[in-house]
Structure 1
Amino acid sequence: MRRRFLQCDVFSAVPTKGNGLAVVVDADGLTTAQMQDFAAWTNLAETTFLLPPTRAGADYAVRIFTPGREMPFAGHPTLGSCAAWLHCGGQPQEPGLVRQECQIGLVEIDTSGDVPAFVAPPTDVAPLAPAAQSRLMTVLGLDASQVIRTAHLNNGPVWQVLELKDAATVLAIDADRVRWPEYVGVGVVGAHAAGNDIDYEVRNLAPSSGMSEDPITGSLNAAIAHWMFAEGRLDRALVMAQGTVLGREGRVFVASAGSDVTIGGHVHVLIDGTVDL
């Protein structure tokens, strides 16, 4: 069956410098196995499939797949799927606010501004087990003086996150030292110097897609933002860079509004066509 197919670039103001996303817009009738096979074929970090909503208030439903498995939530697929749905004529029930249904529930995406932003789902913030922290530090070649704080974060995906002393330390890590599935959801973050137009550098070193490193990861940035918020450290809007070592120019815009944490980024539709699926 011929279906509408788009490919988006997410989390960069410069087309092709963000994270690619494949979107099958009218996926009704596809089986889970067909979706997984197609996601493996695209060989992108994620592929999404848009479906009629099943929950009250949702504008559409989305299923999110890496080449190897289905995800309950992911950030760049959220913004990219929303942009694809709107590009293809989707009309939200509330102007300027899209409600996307995924496995973790409804995710709200504010499309009223220059940069779309979603309300990050709740994140469970817990200490990272000492044994897990020690193992990660050893395999990444880090010593105690380079690690400021750590956390175990869960917002659908599960993250083991190390906050390092600065952005330079983050950028110097060799991502090939930790590979999925032995390591899952390893994130590192470090601050840039004051006065820089970027606040933090972020890397996802062991993505569940099986890649050596994910270019830009909305769900990881969302988890880090909730961690900062929970500790009272998210006291202003932040710009997070990701993908630098991969030649990307990822920019994730983090902010808080009341009890909500929002994650924003540019989206470009680069391919608009059909797929026989």
Structure 2
Amino acid sequence: MHYLHVDVFSSQPYSGNSLAVFPDSVGLSGKQMTRITQEMRHFESVFLTRHPAHERTWGARVFDLAGELDFAGHPLIGAACVLHALHDADDTETWRLKLRARTVDVITRRRATGRYTAVLDQGPAVFLGRPHIPDLAAWFSLDAEDLDPELPPEVLSTGLRYLVVPVRGDALGRARIAQDLEAPLAALGAHFAYLLDATALEGRHWTNDGNLEDVVTGSGGGCAAAYLRRHGRIGDGETVTLHQGRLTGRAGKMAVSAHGEGQDIRSVRVGGEVAFVAEGHLRELPA
């Protein structure tokens, strides 16, 4: 089975968020996809199948090391750029990717051999509440003074539900997850937490147990864009650069924007560059 290794949200290989893309995964079960993802050891892998009736429409299943995700950002951006490279596309193309829970469009552009850019339309944002969490700073080994006093923590979704936690000063660099956040986040209606420095436009995200830090999180970046727009930190439709990954040694950049006012954010877009690193074949599939 053919696969490609790309780095997303970076113009150069060996930076940004790595990804394994399987452009023809017909016949694989979810169990097999999970085993392959665990073997490849990228943060996520994406498995594609061609739609029988529409040339630019593909089924997409995204897996992290624990199992399948309803939505993700960097796998869809990387997958669309791989499709662009493999299918003799024009300089600019639009790809429709059908996930288990929703369908999204990704616009890709060829910049040079092995270099692409893509923009994912994550759709509208849904704001789910501003919880009062007395010990929130301690969740991330921080002090209460490290939280941004001008911006409230908020749960929102552009595909996955994040608790956006605004911090200030050097707090982003000092943050560490101090306890397993799975249950506390679930009690708030959130899947994950995303720390955001709204002044520096930089974020961080970990697995809920804190054992693994994500390099650049497209789904979290979409929530950050909607949050920044709601609170007037970016203009309507203004594209800004959101940084992530510096503290992992694999710095990446997301171009993010949000269209709308207040809680009526009608469209959130997350984009970035994609660099091709390698390709190969699995010699054997898992049982």
TM-score by length of 2: 0.82
1:18-40 Cα offsets, whole Å, 9 max, x none, are 11111111100011111111112
Q: Distance in 2 between matches of 1:146 and 1:51?
A: 44
1:61-106 Cα offsets, whole Å, 9 max, x none, are 10000111110110000111111222222659x9621111112322
The answer to whether the Cα contact below 8 Å between 1:53 and 1:60 also exists between their aligned partners in 2 is yes
* CA displacement at 1:57 relative to structure 2: 8.5
Distance 1:228 1:272, change over 3 A: same
Q: Distance in 2 between matches of 1:33 and 1:153?
A: 30
- The answer for the alignment partner of 2:168 in structure 1 is 165
- The answer for the alignment partner of 2:138 in structure 1 is 138
Distance 1:205 1:67, change over 3 A: closer
- The answer for the alignment partner of 1:106 in structure 2 is 103
- The answer for the alignment partner of 1:250 in structure 2 is 252
Q: Distance in 2 between matches of 1:66 and 1:42?
A: 10
Distance 1:154 1:178, change over 3 A: farther
TM-score by length of 1: 0.84
- The answer for the alignment partner of 1:263 in structure 2 is 270
User: Residues 148-227 of structure 1: matches in 2 within 5 Å?
Assistant: 148-166=151-169, 168-175=170-177, 177-179=178-180, 181=182, 184-192=191-199, 199-206=200-207, 211-227=211-227
* CA displacement at 1:128 relative to structure 2: 3.4
Structure 2: runs of 5+ lacking an equivalent: 112-116, 186-190, 261-265
* CA displacement at 1:158 relative to structure 2: 2.0
- The answer for the alignment partner of 2:49 in structure 1 is 51
Secondary structure in 1 matching 2:61: strand
2:226 equivalent to 1:229:
no
Q: Distance in 1 between matches of 2:13 and 2:94?
A: 24
Q: Distance in 2 between matches of 1:63 and 1:17?
A: 24
* CA displacement at 1:156 relative to structure 2: 3.0
1:160-198 Cα offsets, whole Å, 9 max, x none, are 1111134x22122124x2446456511110134xxxxxx
One-letter amino acid matched to 1:216: V
The answer to whether the Cα contact below 8 Å between 2:225 and 2:256 also exists between their aligned partners in 1 is yes
Secondary structure in 2 matching 1:120: strand
Q: Which moved more, 1:133-142 or 1:213-222?
A: 133-142
1:229-253 Cα offsets, whole Å, 9 max, x none, are 3444430321111011111111001
One-letter amino acid matched to 2:193: V
User: Residues 21-32 of structure 1: matches in 2 within 5 Å?
Assistant: 21-32=19-30
Q: Distance in 1 between matches of 2:109 and 2:277?
A: 22
* CA displacement at 1:267 relative to structure 2: 0.5
* CA displacement at 1:54 relative to structure 2: 7.3
**Aligned with residue 79 of structure 1, among 77, 80, 86:** 77
1:181-239 Cα offsets, whole Å, 9 max, x none, are 456511110134xxxxxx5010003358x742111100000011122334444303211
Structure 1: runs of 5+ lacking an equivalent: 193-198
Q: Distance in 2 between matches of 1:71 and 1:110?
A: 22
**Aligned with residue 280 of structure 2, among 240, 257, 273:** 273
- The answer for the alignment partner of 1:129 in structure 2 is 131
One-letter amino acid matched to 2:71: F
Q: Distance in 1 between matches of 2:23 and 2:242?
A: 29
Secondary structure in 2 matching 1:26: coil
The answer to whether the Cα contact below 8 Å between 1:149 and 1:164 also exists between their aligned partners in 2 is no
